[in-house]
Amino acid sequence: MKLIKRIFKFFDKHIIIPITKFFVFIGEKLKTADKPLEMALTKKSSMIIISLVLALIVFFIVDTKSTTLLETNAEVIYNRPVKATYNDEEYVIEGLPEKVDITLIGTKANLYLAKQLPTQDVIVDLSDLKPGVHKVNLRYKQSITSVEYKLDPSVATVVISSKKSETRDIESDIVNLNKLDSKLAVSSVKLDSNEVIIKGTEENLAKVSKIKALVNVSEMIDPKAGTNSLKDVPLVAYDEDGKVMDVEMVPSTVNATIEIESPSKDVPIKVVTTGDVVFGKAIKNIVTSIDSVTIYGDSKTLDKTDAIEVEVDVSDLKTNKQYTKTIKKPSGIRDISNKTVTINIELDDEATTELSGVRLSYINLGSNYTVQATEQSSTEIIVILKGVESVIKEIEPTSVEAYVDLKGLGVGEHEVEIKVKGNDPKVNYSSKVRKTTIKIAEK
């Protein structure tokens, strides 16, 4: 009863009386208004009723808010790291979760306060444990004791093993090479240390196949031809299947000196025509907008590349025509100075002539065999040339290659097809005799 009386006095003093005074003040101001309204607002009984109603409304709102703040709620903090206390120089810990989820339980007011304070750590003390398998409890150092907590997981089964160490060689591995300027190439990488000490369980160390320094060329600042440096290159341990191994490495990073070159070579544009122009016509001239391009790549690829071929389909071409073709990069070529070329093809009337004295060669002959001629066509052939007269009359026998493919053939006589090719794309080459008989004998 005393509590109820105190609550009533509190509401009477702090809510009902102030509201009543407020409406009395309003009533005095409205004396000039209509009589019914004035009478309603100036009667003491009316004011008390209105004040009581408003007081009840205010009480309900405050009570609702208070109830909400006092209700029990739960909030989850995800992925909090677990910190273990142990002698990391002597032991290796396996099975301990890296992160856990924390469920906080309490009133909204306490949860709000708990979130404003610095988040504490999830800890586990393993300092007194010896090598072996142990089940340990994880503990959360909460900021507010009035808030309960639950960890997921709250218990872990850990394996404590003695730490071993070995010295291993380091290999360099260049990554993100595609992000390097296409005109540049890495010629060599030198590390400031070629060895690393790896630490871990004896079982894990036995699985380590190689240690690689991952030289990320995309992290180099403004790489240029010459000597470049890269600090803190990470070391990664791999097993024989290429899987990353979880072992400690001392040091964990190395510094790298990277030599970059920009090898290039100028090579001619070689137009290769496919298909045949209309009957009675031949290609008189092929003119390109550029005669050569500069190609960039490694030295071995450049040495093998003597020209850049651009293919043009002239099937059923009737009149002179201009083509704009994309210059495709051969395999191994990283960049090329020009991306397109314009090709003008000029036609004229076709003429035909025969070219004698073209030597016949053999390819893919087994190393323990030799070829014996059975007829004149086994050593020299006649080649039929078709093209514009001014072009074909300049063709020499030495510029034409005639050959037969002996792949898979053994001792005996064989009838084989003669193939002919030349270096002038404006001319059509063919053998007057399509096949010849050759005799293969053992050496």
Q: What would the pLDDT profile of 362-388 be if each residue is shown by its tens digit?
A: 999 988 899 876 665 568 899 999 999
Q: Are residues 328 and 383 in the same domain?
A: no
The answer on pLDDT for 250 being more than 90 is: yes
Q: Are residues 324 and 358 in the same domain?
A: no
Q: Token digits for 321?
A: 């025509």
Q: What is the mean pLDDT of residues 332-337?
A: 90
Q: Are residues 92 and 144 in the same domain?
A: yes
How much of the chain, in percent, has pLDDT values that exceed 90? 47
Q: Are residues 360 and 429 in the same domain?
A: yes
Residue 369: exposed, middle, or buried by beta-carbon count in 10 A (0-12, 13-18, 19+)? middle
Looking at per-residue pLDDT, the higher value among 326 and 154 belongs to 326
The answer on pLDDT for 256 being more than 80 is: yes
The answer on pLDDT for 323 being more than 50 is: yes
Domain span at 362: 351-442
Lowest mean pLDDT among 18-27, 362-371, 389-398: 18-27
Give every CB contact of residue 249 below 8 A, 6+ residues apart in sequence.
196, 197, 198, 199, 211, 235, 237
3-class state of residue 167 by DSSP = strand
Using alpha carbons only, what angle is made at residue 169 by residues 164 and 170, rounded to the nearest 5 degrees? 115
The answer on pLDDT for 258 being more than 90 is: yes
Q: How far apart are CA 262 and CA 183, in angstroms?
A: 6
The answer on pLDDT for 234 being more than 70 is: yes
Q: Are residues 252 and 284 in the same domain?
A: no
CATH number at residue 139: 2.170.120.30
The pTM of the full predicted model, rounded to 2 decimals, is 0.54
Cα-Cα-Cα-Cα dihedral sign, residues 202, 207, 209, 215 = negative
- 76 falls in which pLDDT band (50, 70, 90)? confident
Beta bridge partners of 93: 160
CA distances from 227 to 187, 188, 254, 334 (A): 10, 10, 17, 21
Tell which of 139, 162, 185 closes a domain.
162
Looking at per-residue pLDDT, the higher value among 349 and 107 belongs to 349
3-state secondary structure string, 360-408?
EEEECCCCCEEEEECCHHHCEEEEEEEECHHHHCCCCHHHEEEEEECCC
Q: How far apart are CA 101 and CA 154, in angstroms?
A: 9
Using alpha carbons only, what angle is made at residue 286 by residues 280 and 432, rounded to the nearest 5 degrees? 45
Q: Are residues 83 and 146 in the same domain?
A: yes
Task: Give pLDDT, residue 366.
Answer: 87
In 71-194, alpha helices (H): 108-116
User: 125: alpha, beta or left, given left = phi > 0 and alpha = psi -120 to 50?
Assistant: beta
The answer on pLDDT for 254 being more than 80 is: yes
Instruction: For strands 380-387 and 91-94, give the pairing.
Output: unpaired
**DSSP code of residue 14:** I
Q: How many domains does the chain have?
A: 5
Closest Cα partner for 439 from 382, 381, 383, 377?
377
Q: Are residues 435 and 370 in the same domain?
A: yes
- 162 falls in which pLDDT band (50, 70, 90)? confident
Tell which of 261, 281, 298 closes a domain.
261
Nearest 5°: phi and psi at 29? Answer: -70, -25
The answer on pLDDT for 68 being more than 70 is: no
Taking each helix axis from N to C terminus, what angle separates 44-70 and 108-116, rounded to the nearest 10 degrees?
60
Q: Are residues 285 and 249 in the same domain?
A: no
Looking at per-residue pLDDT, the higher value among 52 and 299 belongs to 299
Closest Cα partner for 319 from 342, 349, 341, 353?
349
Task: Supply the Cα-derived Rg of the chain in whole angstroms.
Answer: 46
3-class state of residue 181 by DSSP = coil
The answer on pLDDT for 67 being more than 50 is: no
Q: Token digits for 88?
A: 């990391």
Longest alpha-carbon distance in the chain: 141
Residue 99: exposed, middle, or buried by beta-carbon count in 10 A (0-12, 13-18, 19+)? exposed
Task: Give pLDDT, residue 432.
Answer: 92
Q: Token digits for 22?
A: 């407020």
How many Cα atoms within 13 Å fall on the side-chain side of residue 269? Answer: 25
Q: Are residues 208 and 134 in the same domain?
A: no
Q: What is the mean pLDDT of residues 390-395?
A: 94
Instruction: For strands 195-200 and 164-175, give the pairing.
Output: antiparallel
Q: Mean of the per-residue pLDDT values for the chain? A: 84
Contact between 353 and 393 under an 8 Å Cβ cutoff? The reply is yes
- 63 falls in which pLDDT band (50, 70, 90)? very low
Using alpha carbons only, what angle is made at residue 248 by residues 196 and 193, rounded to the nearest 5 degrees? 20
Q: Are residues 25 and 81 in the same domain?
A: no
Q: Are residues 372 and 309 in the same domain?
A: no
Cα-Cα-Cα-Cα dihedral sign, residues 392, 398, 402, 407 = negative
Tell which of 162, 196, 231 closes a domain.
162
Instruction: For strands 351-363 and 400-405, give the pairing.
Output: parallel
CATH number at residue 224: 2.170.120.40
Helix and strand numbers (H, E) in the chain are 8, 30
Instruction: Count other Cβ atoms within 10 Å, centred on residue 319.
Output: 10
How much of the chain, in percent, has pLDDT values that exceed 70? 81
Q: Are residues 130 and 180 in the same domain?
A: no
